[in-house]
Amino acid sequence: MAKEIERKYLVKDESWRSVASSSSAFLQAYIATGKDRSVRIRIMDGERAKLTIKVGRDLFARDEFEYDIPLADAEEMSRQALGVVLEKTRYKVPFEGHIWEVDVYAGTYAGLVVAEVEMADEKVQPVVPGWIGQEITGDRRYSNAVMATEDLSEELVNGLSIKVV
């Protein structure tokens, strides 16, 4: 069992782009969700897929189980998804000993840009880059499972003071 410990933030400008080390296009679909768990599939670059099960109410630290699955299975499951299938490009941005993942959403959430950083321990306080804005760790509206099942695009995208494409 792996523990996912992460902090999540809005991104306030595009200065991270010049130091991004890689990117990958994701389709992310939720197959099942509950108050303290979710089951999702993720298709990366249209070439490979993973099934992920997350358990826990805390959006900062949860148990996470992730498995490679056949691409054809993932494509079939995505057609049976709950709500919105999320589309995003994830960029990896190294900064001060951590790899920040910047998600630039497309489709329903086009204009939303969120960064997260995973840590090995809940006590770790990573150095926050200057392009990071408001912390949204624990704000359920920015949980991908909630974004997929409740379609908060009007609130999350139109309520932003900046839009990054």
The CATH number of the domain where 129 resides is what? 2.40.320.10
pLDDT in tens, 125-165: 889 999 999 999 989 899 999 999 998 988 898 765 444 44
Number of domains the chain contains: 1
Active site residue 9: no
Per-residue confidence (pLDDT) for residue 125, from 0 to 100: 85
pLDDT digits (tens, 9 = 90+) for 20-67: 999 999 999 999 998 889 999 999 999 999 999 999 876 667 889 999
Residue 164 falls inside a structural domain: no
106-119 average pLDDT score: 95
> Which of 9, 30, 105, 142 is flagged as catalytic?
30
27 in a structural domain: yes
Q: Is residue 63 part of a domain?
A: yes
Please list, residue by residue across 96-116, b when 16 or more beta carbons sit within 10 angstroms of its beta carbon and e when fewer do: eebebbbbbbbebbebbbbbb
Residue 163 lies in a domain: no
Domain of residue 37, residue span: 2-158
Give me the pLDDT at residue 45, please.
Answer: 98
**CB-side neighbour CA atoms (13 Å) of 149:** 16
Please enumerate in sequence order all residues whose Cβ is within 8 A of that of 5, keeping only pairs 6 or more positions apart, or say none: 60, 61, 118, 119, 120, 121, 122, 124
Lowest mean pLDDT of 2-6, 103-107, 108-112, 137-141, name the range: 2-6
Within-domain flag for 10: yes
pTM higher than 0.85 for the full model?
yes
Measured distance CA(151)–CA(149) in Å, rounded: 6
